[in-house]
Amino acid sequence: MTITTGIVYDEKFTEHSCLWDENYSENPQRYTSIINRCNSLGLIDRCIKIKTRPAFREELLTQHTAEHINLLESTQNYDENNLELVSSKYDSIYVHPSTFKQSLLAAGSSIELVKAVVDGRVQNGMAFVRPPGHHAMKSEYCGYCFFNNVAIAAQYLLDQTDIKKILIVDWDIHHGQATQQMFYDDPRVLYFSIHRYEHGQFWPNLRESDFDHVGSGNGTGFNINVPLNSTAMKNEDYLAIVHYLLIPLAIEFSPDFIIVSSGFDSAIGDPKGEMLVTPACYAHITQKLMSITNNKVVAILEGGYYLPSLAESAALTLRALLGDACPLIDALQQPCNSVMETIRNVINVHKYYWDCFKYNILADANSPSIQYNFFSEKPQVYLTRNMYSKIDTKHFDVLLNNMIIETKLFNPKTRMGLAINANKCIKYSDIYQCLQSLIGPIHVLKERQATIKEINNTLFKTKYRKQICQQFNDDFVKENPVFIMFGFFVGSLLQIIDSIFDNEIRSGISLLLSTTNTNENKDTCILNASLVSANYAIKKYSVQRVLIIEMNSNVSQSYSDEKIMIISIHNSKTDNSNKLDKNCMNISWSKKKLNDAEFTAIMHYLILPIAYEYNPELIIVSTKFELHTNEIYGVQITPNIYGYLIKWLSTLANGRLVIYEQNVNNDSNYRKECLMECSRALFSKPISKLCVKNLFTFETKNIIQDNIKNQMNTWKSLQF
């Protein structure tokens, strides 16, 4: 049930080094530090090694001129003086006698990795190659780069395979101007770059790195620059970009393949980036991207110059590709004003090309202003040595070491457990047979009944506690078959929670085979199984924060507990208030249906920002997989929406997520499809694509805006 991940690495990648400056920041230790950290976590042994090979000349010629290739080839026999002379003609490079062969190996191996994914030998992969490539232009070496590995691999996919659309995500701190140039007029490639810019004052100091450079010709709208104009940006700033820009765009573009220009110089401690992104944040971004292309994501190494954060970030990215649970990150706060200004600018220039931005709540009526503050002539000769002074990293060494120690890498062997009420009939269940045939072998948890004591002990802080405690006694339970059923139902949820916190499973689904509608019973209607389960986890396992997502139901109990956050999504006609209190929130939807585009917006503008700020240790999703039968709270949603809901939520809480059905009135195909999509999401298997084209309207914008206004005073992440 694991994802097959390919990996490219080769000791030959340590040969390329600067002969005349031992302090040069692009050095072999970058490669060895990554390999050592991945080995220490046991990651490389879990991957499939993809054989390295040099790129063929015709492959290089798809992006570079013959003269560009020939010049580098000629340097193989140069002495040190001539190598430095050649290097001085280009911006920020050094050439070594091995540079040509190693650059060939980096480009060719990148092709082999994407080919392995397309051929089905692996589902995704990561290439630890050097030299990097995203600054290598058609006929000019630049920024430690000689051949553009990512662009060459992308062109190979377009020319030699059935891949029609590629998303390139470049999160290196420096703008990959060469990759931008190579696909600037090509609508088959959506290039998305997050880079430090400071209005042109940060290298490579190009006007074309700003947000208003959107592509040309048929490629207009397919070049997305997200320039960062201040330093010290954190996880909340990067995830704001991901939630408000990257994922909505990626869903609408619907790529067949994603390539990440995976530079880690925006990670904490890097002297070039001067940002504060934690290594775990890259894992979260990676898994969000994996949901878009059925796991077809390849990360190719670019920059990163503070070795501890480079190695940790690369390792956690590889771990994410393997499908392991994303590590917890600190609760997110309000994104900084600078990043929100950039996000608005990007939306404003791209709202003419993308439906997700057409009625966007962050769109500004005013035209964005352009500011470019770098005016300098290109030098005739570039510096080649003494460019990088030694930096005292003691502060960041301690900070990162503590961060690594505190990061819990939760990875039980079984990704999902199934608890079925009345599982004596499990072999005869259509639902079980359907899941097993399409998902594969499923780990079924042992059935048990919740005890009276367990239920009593977890019912505090509800207005019904006294009433329930008076009713709950042995005679009452023996005489009430509905409570017996409820005991087994709650027992299955508690069994899932026990298995999760005993590290036996990562997540679980609780199914009902019975079709009794518990809401019709006056005794059980006062019970809320999600609250019982949440309080059980709090009392037994000292869980500090539980997030409950209730789909198609209103928050029916007077409830307040800082350790439990409830988000209820339902039709607004059933509700008198959008907000009960800080820890009990209603998201009201005035339309009878929730389409894919609307769901994407709700998730990325409301639920995910709040969830990341709350930072849960356990998530419980309570829902009814019913179509047309739920007339009380009725918001109709598609099965694939359920799949993405679970996929996106599972990046939180170390993947500790429980799904349970509130009741079951049917065994419809709709229910089976919903359960299938949820199971696929928990198993990291491909889920059906969302369809968002032409579905986001002005009415939708107003509904989401109203919900944000109702919550923004409570949640910093919504104060934009």
Residues 352 and 483 in one domain: no
Q: Strands 546-551 and 564-571: what pairing?
A: parallel
On whether residue 639 sits in a domain, the answer given is: yes
For the cut 60, the answer to whether the pLDDT of residue 100 exceeds it is yes
Predicted pLDDT at 501 = 97
Residues 343 and 430 in one domain: no
For the cut 70, the answer to whether the pLDDT of residue 462 exceeds it is no
* Residue 678's pLDDT band (cuts 50, 70, 90): very high
Residues 546 and 670 in one domain: yes
* Residue 458's pLDDT band (cuts 50, 70, 90): low
Q: Which of 371, 387, 412 is the last residue of a domain?
A: 371
On whether residue 682 sits in a domain, the answer given is: yes
Dihedral pair phi/psi, residue 254, rounded to 5°: 55, 65
Predicted pLDDT at 632 = 38
Residues 467 and 568 in one domain: yes
Residues 471 and 329 in one domain: no
Predicted pLDDT at 630 = 43
Residues 517 and 632 in one domain: yes
Residues 469 and 342 in one domain: no
- Residue 582 CA to residue 585 CA, distance in Å, equals 7
Q: Which residue has the higher pLDDT, 463 or 318?
A: 318
On whether residue 380 sits in a domain, the answer given is: no
Residues 650 and 507 in one domain: yes
How far are the Cα atoms of 414, 559, 651 from residue 326, in angstroms, in the given order?
15, 30, 5
Predicted pLDDT at 688 = 86
For the cut 80, the answer to whether the pLDDT of residue 671 exceeds it is yes
3-class DSSP assignment, residue 241: helix
Predicted pLDDT at 576 = 46
How far are the Cα atoms of 216, 228, 244, 416, 701 from residue 321, in angstroms, in the given order?
33, 27, 23, 18, 34
Cα 206 → chain centroid: 29
For the cut 70, the answer to whether the pLDDT of residue 494 exceeds it is yes
Residues 354 and 438 in one domain: no
* Residue 59's pLDDT band (cuts 50, 70, 90): very high
Residues 470 and 358 in one domain: no
By CB neighbour count within 10 A (0-12 exposed, 13-18 middle, 19+ buried), where does 51 fall?
Answer: exposed
Cα 500 → chain centroid: 22
3-class DSSP assignment, residue 633: coil
Give the rounded percent of residues in the chain with a pLDDT score beyond 90.
Answer: 66
- Residue 653 CA to residue 662 CA, distance in Å, equals 22
On average, the pLDDT of the chain sits at 88
On whether residue 570 sits in a domain, the answer given is: yes
Q: How far apart are the first and last CA of the chain?
A: 41
pLDDT-wise least confident of 53-62, 516-525, 568-577 = 516-525
Residues 271 and 352 in one domain: yes
What's the pLDDT tens digit per position in 221-260?
A: 999 999 999 999 999 999 999 999 999 999 999 999 999 9
Cα 175 → chain centroid: 21
pLDDT-wise least confident of 314-318, 338-342, 422-426, 691-695 = 422-426
By CB neighbour count within 10 A (0-12 exposed, 13-18 middle, 19+ buried), where does 1 fall?
Answer: middle
Q: Can you tell me the mean pLDDT for 212-225?
A: 99
Q: Can you tell me the mean pLDDT for 541-561?
A: 76
Residues 497 and 593 in one domain: yes
Ranges of H-type helices in 511-660: 529-541, 596-602, 608-614, 639-649
DSSP 8-state symbol, 535: H
By CB neighbour count within 10 A (0-12 exposed, 13-18 middle, 19+ buried), where does 71 fall?
Answer: middle
Global pTM value: 0.94
For residue 424, what are the domain limits? 420-718
DSSP 8-state symbol, 716: G
Does the active-site annotation cover 135? yes
For the cut 60, the answer to whether the pLDDT of residue 159 exceeds it is yes
How many domains is the chain partitioned into structurally? 2
On whether residue 99 sits in a domain, the answer given is: yes
Catalytic residue among 68, 135, 213, 243: 135
- Residue 291 CA to residue 109 CA, distance in Å, equals 25
Predicted pLDDT at 556 = 47
pLDDT-wise least confident of 161-175, 304-318, 501-515 = 501-515
Predicted pLDDT at 585 = 84
What's the pLDDT tens digit per position in 326-384?
A: 999 999 999 999 999 999 999 999 999 999 998 888 877 777 889 999 988 889 999 99
Q: Which residue has the higher pLDDT, 476 or 456?
A: 456
Q: Which residue has the higher pLDDT, 363 or 564?
A: 564
What's the pLDDT tens digit per position in 278-337?
A: 999 999 999 999 999 999 999 999 999 999 999 999 999 999 999 999 999 999 999 999
For the cut 70, the answer to whether the pLDDT of residue 477 exceeds it is no
Q: Which of 371, 392, 407 is the last residue of a domain?
A: 371
On whether residue 428 sits in a domain, the answer given is: yes
- Residue 38 CA to residue 22 CA, distance in Å, equals 25
On whether residue 165 sits in a domain, the answer given is: yes
Q: Can you tell me the mean pLDDT for 521-533?
A: 64
DSSP letters along 41-55, please? TT-GGGSEEPPP-PP
Predicted pLDDT at 354 = 95
Listed in order, strand segments (DSSP E) in 76-170 are 124-127, 166-170
- Residue 475 CA to residue 89 CA, distance in Å, equals 90
Predicted pLDDT at 199 = 98
On whether residue 599 sits in a domain, the answer given is: yes
| Alpha-carbon radius of gyration of the chain | 27
CA dihedral of residues 13, 19, 20, 21 (deg, nearest 10): 30
Predicted pLDDT at 593 = 76
CATH of the domain at 237: 3.40.800.20
Residue with tokens 């009135």: 665
Locate 397 and state its tokens.
Answer: 């060494």
256: number of Cβ within 10 Å: 18
Predicted pLDDT at 38 = 99
